[in-house]
Amino acid sequence: MKKLRAFTTACALVVASSAALITGTAVAQQQQFINVLTGGQSGVYYPLGVALSQIFAKDIPNVRSTAQVTRASAENLNLLQAGRGELALTLADALSDAWKGNAEAGFANKLDKLRGLSATYNNYIQIVASEDSGIKTLADLKGKRVSVGAAKSGTELNARAILKAAGLSYGDLAKVEYLPFGESVELMKNRQLDATLQSAGLGVASIRDLSTAVKIVVVSVPADVVTKVGDPAYQPAVIPANTYTGQTVDIPTAAIPNFLVTHSGVSDDVAYRMAKAMYDNIDTLYAAHNAAKSIKRDNAIKGMPVPLHPGAERYYKEVGLIK
Protein backbone atom coordinates (compact mmCIF):
# COMPACT_ATOMS: atom_id res chain seq x y z
CA MET A 1 0.00 0.00 0.00
CA LYS A 2 2.84 2.36 0.90
CA LYS A 3 4.55 1.59 -2.40
CA LEU A 4 1.31 2.35 -4.26
CA ARG A 5 0.97 5.70 -2.46
CA ALA A 6 4.59 6.56 -3.19
CA PHE A 7 4.12 5.69 -6.85
CA THR A 8 0.92 7.77 -7.02
CA THR A 9 2.66 10.73 -5.37
CA ALA A 10 5.59 10.45 -7.76
CA CYS A 11 3.25 10.38 -10.74
CA ALA A 12 1.43 13.45 -9.42
CA LEU A 13 4.74 15.30 -9.06
CA VAL A 14 5.74 14.40 -12.62
CA VAL A 15 2.38 15.59 -13.94
CA ALA A 16 2.61 18.82 -11.91
CA SER A 17 6.18 19.42 -13.09
CA SER A 18 5.19 18.79 -16.68
CA ALA A 19 2.22 21.15 -16.38
CA ALA A 20 4.45 23.85 -14.88
CA LEU A 21 6.98 23.36 -17.67
CA ILE A 22 4.29 23.61 -20.33
CA THR A 23 2.79 26.69 -18.68
CA GLY A 24 6.21 28.31 -18.36
CA THR A 25 6.97 27.56 -22.00
CA ALA A 26 3.65 29.08 -23.07
CA VAL A 27 4.36 32.25 -21.09
CA ALA A 28 7.84 32.47 -22.59
CA GLN A 29 6.40 32.03 -26.06
CA GLN A 30 3.91 34.84 -25.46
CA GLN A 31 6.61 37.30 -24.42
CA GLN A 32 7.32 39.95 -27.03
CA PHE A 33 10.61 41.80 -27.49
CA ILE A 34 10.68 45.42 -28.56
CA ASN A 35 14.16 46.75 -29.27
CA VAL A 36 14.09 50.52 -29.83
CA LEU A 37 16.95 51.71 -32.06
CA THR A 38 18.10 55.19 -31.08
CA GLY A 39 21.36 57.08 -31.68
CA GLY A 40 24.32 58.35 -29.67
CA GLN A 41 23.81 58.99 -25.96
CA SER A 42 24.43 62.73 -26.29
CA GLY A 43 21.69 63.24 -28.88
CA VAL A 44 17.88 63.41 -28.60
CA TYR A 45 17.08 59.97 -30.04
CA TYR A 46 18.59 58.15 -27.08
CA PRO A 47 16.58 59.70 -24.20
CA LEU A 48 13.40 59.40 -26.29
CA GLY A 49 14.18 55.77 -27.10
CA VAL A 50 14.78 55.00 -23.43
CA ALA A 51 11.48 56.66 -22.50
CA LEU A 52 9.63 54.67 -25.19
CA SER A 53 11.16 51.38 -24.03
CA GLN A 54 10.04 52.13 -20.47
CA ILE A 55 6.53 52.98 -21.67
CA PHE A 56 6.27 49.74 -23.65
CA ALA A 57 7.61 47.60 -20.80
CA LYS A 58 5.02 49.10 -18.46
CA ASP A 59 1.98 49.31 -20.75
CA ILE A 60 2.18 46.33 -23.11
CA PRO A 61 1.56 42.88 -21.54
CA ASN A 62 4.34 40.28 -21.81
CA VAL A 63 6.77 42.76 -23.36
CA ARG A 64 10.46 43.08 -22.67
CA SER A 65 11.71 46.34 -24.13
CA THR A 66 15.21 47.79 -24.51
CA ALA A 67 16.81 50.88 -26.06
CA GLN A 68 19.92 50.35 -28.19
CA VAL A 69 22.64 52.93 -28.84
CA THR A 70 23.36 53.18 -32.58
CA ARG A 71 24.78 55.53 -35.20
CA ALA A 72 21.21 56.73 -35.77
CA SER A 73 19.13 57.02 -38.96
CA ALA A 74 20.89 55.00 -41.68
CA GLU A 75 22.08 52.25 -39.35
CA ASN A 76 18.66 52.10 -37.68
CA LEU A 77 16.89 51.57 -40.99
CA ASN A 78 19.27 48.85 -42.12
CA LEU A 79 18.85 47.10 -38.75
CA LEU A 80 15.06 47.26 -39.07
CA GLN A 81 15.19 45.75 -42.56
CA ALA A 82 17.29 42.91 -41.14
CA GLY A 83 14.78 42.34 -38.32
CA ARG A 84 17.27 43.39 -35.63
CA GLY A 85 14.93 45.90 -34.01
CA GLU A 86 11.23 46.58 -33.78
CA LEU A 87 11.16 50.38 -33.70
CA ALA A 88 13.58 53.13 -34.75
CA LEU A 89 13.96 56.87 -34.90
CA THR A 90 15.06 58.30 -38.23
CA LEU A 91 15.26 61.49 -40.24
CA ALA A 92 12.79 61.97 -43.09
CA ASP A 93 15.39 62.26 -45.85
CA ALA A 94 17.21 59.10 -44.73
CA LEU A 95 13.87 57.25 -44.59
CA SER A 96 12.96 58.41 -48.08
CA ASP A 97 16.39 57.37 -49.41
CA ALA A 98 16.07 53.95 -47.75
CA TRP A 99 12.63 53.36 -49.27
CA LYS A 100 13.94 54.30 -52.73
CA GLY A 101 17.22 52.38 -52.35
CA ASN A 102 19.64 55.30 -52.71
CA ALA A 103 23.12 53.74 -52.76
CA GLU A 104 24.88 57.11 -52.26
CA ALA A 105 23.00 57.52 -48.99
CA GLY A 106 24.09 54.08 -47.79
CA PHE A 107 21.18 51.95 -49.02
CA ALA A 108 22.36 49.56 -51.74
CA ASN A 109 18.85 48.13 -52.09
CA LYS A 110 15.32 49.35 -51.42
CA LEU A 111 14.42 48.65 -47.77
CA ASP A 112 10.97 47.35 -48.57
CA LYS A 113 10.07 46.03 -45.10
CA LEU A 114 9.96 49.49 -43.49
CA ARG A 115 6.58 50.62 -42.16
CA GLY A 116 5.64 53.92 -40.52
CA LEU A 117 4.46 54.27 -36.93
CA SER A 118 4.41 58.02 -36.29
CA ALA A 119 5.87 61.40 -37.13
CA THR A 120 7.63 62.96 -34.13
CA TYR A 121 9.55 66.26 -33.89
CA ASN A 122 11.79 68.26 -36.21
CA ASN A 123 15.56 68.10 -36.32
CA TYR A 124 17.35 71.40 -36.78
CA ILE A 125 20.63 71.74 -38.64
CA GLN A 126 22.85 73.23 -35.94
CA ILE A 127 26.29 74.33 -37.12
CA VAL A 128 28.32 75.48 -34.16
CA ALA A 129 31.83 76.94 -34.32
CA SER A 130 34.19 78.05 -31.59
CA GLU A 131 34.44 81.83 -31.41
CA ASP A 132 38.23 81.54 -31.73
CA SER A 133 37.88 79.84 -35.15
CA GLY A 134 36.70 83.04 -36.83
CA ILE A 135 33.81 81.18 -38.48
CA LYS A 136 30.70 83.32 -38.85
CA THR A 137 29.12 82.11 -42.11
CA LEU A 138 28.87 78.89 -44.12
CA ALA A 139 31.53 80.22 -46.50
CA ASP A 140 33.91 80.56 -43.55
CA LEU A 141 33.91 76.76 -43.10
CA LYS A 142 36.27 76.52 -46.07
CA GLY A 143 39.73 75.47 -44.88
CA LYS A 144 38.46 74.60 -41.38
CA ARG A 145 38.31 71.39 -39.32
CA VAL A 146 34.71 70.19 -39.14
CA SER A 147 32.90 67.17 -37.69
CA VAL A 148 29.95 66.10 -39.83
CA GLY A 149 28.52 63.29 -37.69
CA ALA A 150 29.05 59.54 -37.80
CA ALA A 151 29.66 58.24 -41.34
CA LYS A 152 26.40 57.60 -43.26
CA SER A 153 24.35 58.78 -40.28
CA GLY A 154 21.35 61.04 -40.84
CA THR A 155 23.44 63.96 -39.63
CA GLU A 156 26.18 63.21 -42.12
CA LEU A 157 23.67 62.98 -44.98
CA ASN A 158 22.32 66.36 -43.86
CA ALA A 159 25.86 67.78 -43.79
CA ARG A 160 26.53 66.70 -47.38
CA ALA A 161 23.24 68.24 -48.53
CA ILE A 162 23.71 71.58 -46.75
CA LEU A 163 27.35 72.00 -47.78
CA LYS A 164 26.51 71.17 -51.40
CA ALA A 165 23.68 73.72 -51.41
CA ALA A 166 26.13 76.30 -50.04
CA GLY A 167 28.61 75.55 -52.84
CA LEU A 168 30.99 73.57 -50.61
CA SER A 169 32.21 69.99 -50.44
CA TYR A 170 34.26 67.95 -48.00
CA GLY A 171 37.25 68.65 -50.22
CA ASP A 172 36.99 72.34 -49.32
CA LEU A 173 37.51 71.59 -45.62
CA ALA A 174 40.93 71.32 -44.00
CA LYS A 175 39.85 68.20 -42.10
CA VAL A 176 36.64 66.16 -41.93
CA GLU A 177 35.83 64.14 -38.81
CA TYR A 178 33.04 61.54 -38.81
CA LEU A 179 32.16 61.60 -35.13
CA PRO A 180 29.08 61.36 -32.89
CA PHE A 181 27.92 64.52 -31.13
CA GLY A 182 29.64 63.97 -27.80
CA GLU A 183 33.05 63.18 -29.29
CA SER A 184 32.80 66.19 -31.63
CA VAL A 185 32.20 68.47 -28.66
CA GLU A 186 35.16 67.07 -26.73
CA LEU A 187 37.48 67.75 -29.68
CA MET A 188 36.15 71.31 -29.93
CA LYS A 189 36.79 71.85 -26.22
CA ASN A 190 40.39 70.71 -26.80
CA ARG A 191 40.75 73.01 -29.86
CA GLN A 192 41.19 70.03 -32.18
CA LEU A 193 38.10 71.00 -34.20
CA ASP A 194 36.77 74.34 -35.40
CA ALA A 195 33.11 73.44 -35.93
CA THR A 196 30.54 70.69 -35.69
CA LEU A 197 27.34 70.15 -37.65
CA GLN A 198 24.69 68.42 -35.59
CA SER A 199 21.23 67.52 -36.83
CA ALA A 200 19.12 67.26 -33.69
CA GLY A 201 16.25 68.65 -31.69
CA LEU A 202 16.59 72.08 -30.15
CA GLY A 203 18.52 72.16 -26.89
CA VAL A 204 20.50 69.00 -27.66
CA ALA A 205 22.71 68.08 -24.67
CA SER A 206 25.98 68.04 -26.61
CA ILE A 207 25.72 71.67 -27.78
CA ARG A 208 24.40 72.82 -24.41
CA ASP A 209 27.52 71.27 -22.88
CA LEU A 210 29.79 72.92 -25.44
CA SER A 211 28.21 76.36 -25.05
CA THR A 212 28.87 76.36 -21.30
CA ALA A 213 32.51 75.32 -21.78
CA VAL A 214 33.66 77.64 -24.62
CA LYS A 215 32.34 80.68 -26.45
CA ILE A 216 30.44 79.55 -29.53
CA VAL A 217 29.01 80.96 -32.75
CA VAL A 218 25.86 79.34 -34.17
CA VAL A 219 26.21 79.60 -37.96
CA SER A 220 23.19 80.63 -40.05
CA VAL A 221 21.83 78.47 -42.87
CA PRO A 222 20.00 81.08 -45.01
CA ALA A 223 16.61 80.25 -46.52
CA ASP A 224 17.99 80.38 -50.08
CA VAL A 225 20.51 77.65 -49.18
CA VAL A 226 17.71 75.52 -47.72
CA THR A 227 15.77 75.91 -50.98
CA LYS A 228 18.82 74.89 -53.03
CA VAL A 229 18.94 71.52 -51.23
CA GLY A 230 16.01 70.60 -53.48
CA ASP A 231 14.40 68.18 -51.02
CA PRO A 232 10.93 69.02 -49.65
CA ALA A 233 11.94 67.43 -46.32
CA TYR A 234 14.21 70.46 -45.75
CA GLN A 235 12.26 73.53 -44.63
CA PRO A 236 13.45 76.98 -43.47
CA ALA A 237 13.36 77.26 -39.68
CA VAL A 238 14.79 79.21 -36.77
CA ILE A 239 16.90 78.31 -33.73
CA PRO A 240 15.36 80.70 -31.18
CA ALA A 241 17.60 83.13 -29.29
CA ASN A 242 19.01 81.78 -26.02
CA THR A 243 18.59 78.14 -27.00
CA TYR A 244 22.28 77.89 -26.07
CA THR A 245 24.51 79.91 -23.76
CA GLY A 246 25.88 82.94 -25.61
CA GLN A 247 23.43 82.65 -28.53
CA THR A 248 21.54 85.93 -28.11
CA VAL A 249 19.72 86.16 -31.47
CA ASP A 250 17.49 83.95 -33.61
CA ILE A 251 19.49 81.89 -36.12
CA PRO A 252 18.01 80.88 -39.52
CA THR A 253 18.53 77.23 -40.40
CA ALA A 254 16.87 74.14 -41.90
CA ALA A 255 14.46 71.78 -40.18
CA ILE A 256 13.86 68.14 -41.13
CA PRO A 257 11.10 65.92 -39.67
CA ASN A 258 11.86 62.78 -37.67
CA PHE A 259 9.79 59.62 -37.79
CA LEU A 260 9.28 56.48 -35.75
CA VAL A 261 9.48 53.46 -38.04
CA THR A 262 8.87 49.76 -37.57
CA HIS A 263 8.88 46.87 -40.08
CA SER A 264 6.44 44.47 -41.71
CA GLY A 265 7.58 41.54 -39.53
CA VAL A 266 6.17 43.23 -36.42
CA SER A 267 2.66 41.95 -35.73
CA ASP A 268 -0.35 44.23 -36.20
CA ASP A 269 -1.16 43.85 -32.50
CA VAL A 270 2.30 44.95 -31.33
CA ALA A 271 2.38 47.91 -33.73
CA TYR A 272 -1.09 48.95 -32.54
CA ARG A 273 -0.03 48.69 -28.91
CA MET A 274 3.19 50.66 -29.52
CA ALA A 275 1.28 53.55 -31.11
CA LYS A 276 -1.40 53.52 -28.42
CA ALA A 277 1.06 53.25 -25.52
CA MET A 278 3.15 56.10 -26.90
CA TYR A 279 0.24 58.54 -27.14
CA ASP A 280 -1.40 57.34 -23.91
CA ASN A 281 1.87 58.24 -22.16
CA ILE A 282 2.97 61.25 -24.19
CA ASP A 283 3.81 63.23 -21.03
CA THR A 284 6.57 60.70 -20.32
CA LEU A 285 8.13 61.54 -23.69
CA TYR A 286 7.75 65.26 -23.04
CA ALA A 287 9.64 64.81 -19.78
CA ALA A 288 12.44 62.90 -21.50
CA HIS A 289 13.55 65.82 -23.68
CA ASN A 290 12.27 69.29 -24.48
CA ALA A 291 12.38 68.54 -28.24
CA ALA A 292 9.65 65.93 -27.75
CA LYS A 293 7.12 68.58 -26.76
CA SER A 294 6.35 69.20 -30.44
CA ILE A 295 5.16 65.57 -30.89
CA LYS A 296 1.40 65.73 -31.47
CA ARG A 297 -0.93 62.88 -32.39
CA ASP A 298 -2.73 65.13 -34.89
CA ASN A 299 0.51 65.25 -36.92
CA ALA A 300 1.32 61.53 -36.61
CA ILE A 301 0.81 60.57 -40.26
CA LYS A 302 1.82 63.85 -41.94
CA GLY A 303 4.59 63.48 -44.53
CA MET A 304 5.21 59.78 -43.85
CA PRO A 305 7.58 58.62 -46.66
CA VAL A 306 6.76 54.89 -46.26
CA PRO A 307 3.51 52.91 -45.92
CA LEU A 308 1.89 53.07 -42.49
CA HIS A 309 1.98 49.80 -40.53
CA PRO A 310 -1.54 48.26 -40.48
CA GLY A 311 -1.41 48.08 -36.67
CA ALA A 312 -0.63 51.80 -36.41
CA GLU A 313 -3.33 52.51 -39.00
CA ARG A 314 -5.84 50.64 -36.83
CA TYR A 315 -4.96 52.87 -33.87
CA TYR A 316 -5.26 56.10 -35.86
CA LYS A 317 -8.65 54.99 -37.21
CA GLU A 318 -9.74 54.21 -33.65
CA VAL A 319 -8.90 57.75 -32.47
CA GLY A 320 -10.43 59.39 -35.55
CA LEU A 321 -7.20 60.56 -37.20
CA ILE A 322 -7.91 58.37 -40.24
CA LYS A 323 -11.52 58.27 -41.41
pLDDT digits (tens, 9 = 90+) for 276-285: 999 999 999 9
The pLDDT tens digits of the residues spanning 150-208 come to 887 889 999 999 999 999 999 999 999 999 999 999 999 999 999 999 999 999 999 99
Residue 12 has pLDDT above 50, yes or no: no
Residue 35 CA to residue 315 CA, distance in Å, equals 21
Pick from 234, 256, 278: which residue ends a domain?
A: 256
Q: Answer yes or no: is 5 within a domain.
A: no
CATH number of 36's domain: 3.40.190.10
Pick from 209, 224, 256: which residue ends a domain?
A: 256
Q: Answer yes or no: is 89 within a domain.
A: yes
Q: Answer yes or no: is 14 within a domain.
A: no
Residue 15: partners with Cβ closer than 8 Å, 6 or more residues away: none
Band the pLDDT of 104: cuts 50, 70, 90.
confident
Band the pLDDT of 18: cuts 50, 70, 90.
very low
Q: Same structural domain for residues 190 and 70?
A: no
Boundaries of domain holding 229: 123-256
> By three-state DSSP, how is residue 258 classified?
strand
Q: Answer whether 188's CB lies under 8 Å from 175's CB.
A: no
CA distances from 33 to 57, 66, 146, 148, 286 (A): 9, 8, 39, 33, 24
Q: Answer whether 117's CB lies under 8 Å from 179's CB.
A: no
Q: Answer whether 226's CB lies under 8 Å from 235's CB.
A: yes
CA distances from 59 to 106, 228, 231, 255, 278 (A): 35, 44, 38, 32, 9
Q: Answer yes or no: is 146 within a domain.
A: yes
Q: What is the mean pLDDT of residues 220-245?
A: 97
User: Per the structure, how many domains does the chain have?
Assistant: 2
Q: Answer yes or no: is 23 within a domain.
A: no
Lowest mean pLDDT among 56-65, 103-112, 221-230: 103-112
The pTM score is 0.84
